[in-house]
Structure 1
Amino acid sequence: MEHESHHHHHAPKTGVRWLDLGLGLSAGVVSLVSLWLGLHSAHSMEKLVAANSYPYLELMRSNISTVRMPDSDRMRQTVTYFFENNGIGPARIEWVQFNFKGKPMRDMNDLIEACCSMAGSDLRAIDTRGNVVNALVRPGTSVPMFTWNEPSTPNPAFYALLKQMNDITFSACYCSVFDECYVRSDDDRKPQPVEQCTPPAVTFRPGFHPKGA
């Protein structure tokens, strides 16, 4: 019986040992460079995609209104706190913290009690959002936390809040759709990147909540 012979293909050699070794090393270097370029290109593409979805959340407050008071030429003042996304990707709010004179507030009850006399004050006019946590703020849009229009009948709590707005500071942590997270304070020039949004001991819920809730 005849057996088929098996031919093994080897890389061509020049017959010059040092030249063959150099060619082999060159091929290895080219392979490594190609691999590095591929990985670098993939990483650059990931960064480009992330940059094209970068959220830039602004922490905003206002006490200006263009609406006139009833039976008066005076403009009605409005206290408003809200988030505005001026980035190019959506922002998912993870937590919010409000401080009055450095003390964290749990909700509107805490805030109004701390800044203003609630005795005889009608707080039903405060338009609040129950919770902004997990709210998705699309690019070019805003999410209000609370708005309080100046009442037609003088309200001491409103004017106390208006007067002490500079004593209120707030911060928030938010993430992009790729879970790249940032902490932003109302006095920061830009968001600070963090690995994750670990909430502080006391976070703020904009609505009115029963004690202990």
Structure 2
Amino acid sequence: MENKSWFQQPEMIVGLSALLVSLVAVGVALYSAYIDRAYARASVWPRLEVGRSFNSDVYAYLVTNNGTGPAVVKWAELTLKGKPQIHWDQYMASIAGDKKPDADKIHYGQSHISTSVLPATKQIKVMSSDEPELIALLHKASSETELKLCYCSIYDECWTTSWKQPQPLAVDECITPQQAFSQ
């Protein structure tokens, strides 16, 4: 009788085959879990876009969620000429300068955007006005104004965006700036 090596024995061939099939099955399961997780993240991916709407009747700052999931807005920052503005009244006074319109011409509507949740495919008017004098001031200051947001998905993946930076920029986390916009 011939003495076979350990790996040539039928029991070992069956055992090694079972081990190989098991390792392949574990690899497929891990890859499937990775794909499932990526799909789950993509199915609730927010994408905020900050914009302005202007015509002769209304001027508005808008935030739209064009993503597939809710956006958890952590903070907003409004700057004029690089200087942070704390609320809309300060911003309105800054853009008016010495040419302040009559008090009855500074009417505007606003919605809270900081620390809010914006559902997918929804839009919010952050600020709007239909007063002609204020529309002229807002339009004139638009090139020196920036509204920046930091927002996260429900999986705590975070981005910043503004109308001067239309492509969202991934960040590790949303750390609130010292002079965040409080509205």
Q: Cα 1:44–1:128, aligned 2, differ >3 Å: closer, same or farther?
A: same
| Paired residues of 2:58 and 2:135 also in contact (CA < 8 A) | no
**In structure 2, which of residues 45, 50, 66 is the aligned counterpart of residue 59 of structure 1?**
50
What is the number of equivalent residue pairs in this alignment? 177
Cα 1:187/1:22, change in 2 over 3 Å? farther
Larger radius of gyration: 1
Query: Post-superposition shift, 1:150?
Result: 2.2
TM-score when normalising by structure 2: 0.84
Distance 1:123 1:25 in 2: 84
Out of 68, 73, 93, the residue aligned to residue 113 of structure 1 is 93
| Partner secondary structure for residue 82 of structure 1 | strand
User: Equivalent pairs: percent with the same residue?
Assistant: 27
Q: 3-state DSSP class of the match of 1:190? A: strand
Kindly indicate which of the two structures has a greater share of residues assigned to strand. Answer: 2
Q: Aligned letter for 1:19?
A: Q
**For residue 28 of structure 2, what is the aligned residue in structure 1?**
37
Equivalent positions of 1:44-193 (< 5 A) are 44-64=35-55, 76-117=56-97, 118=100, 120-122=102-104, 125-129=107-111, 131-151=112-132, 155=133, 157-193=134-170
8 Å contact 2:114–2:181 — kept in the other structure?
no
Where in structure 2 are there 5+ consecutive unaligned residues? none
User: Which has a greater percent of helix?
Assistant: 2
**Amino acid across the alignment from 1:41:** S
Structure of greater relative contact order (alpha carbons < 8 Å, 6+ residues apart):
2
TM-score (norm 1): 0.73
The CA RMSD over aligned residues, in Å, is: 2.3
Q: Encode CA deviations 1:74-103: one digit per residue, 9 max, x unaligned.
A: xx4322111011111121211111111111
The aligned counterpart of 2:18 is 27
Q: Which runs of 5+ in 1 are unaligned?
A: 1-13, 65-75, 207-213
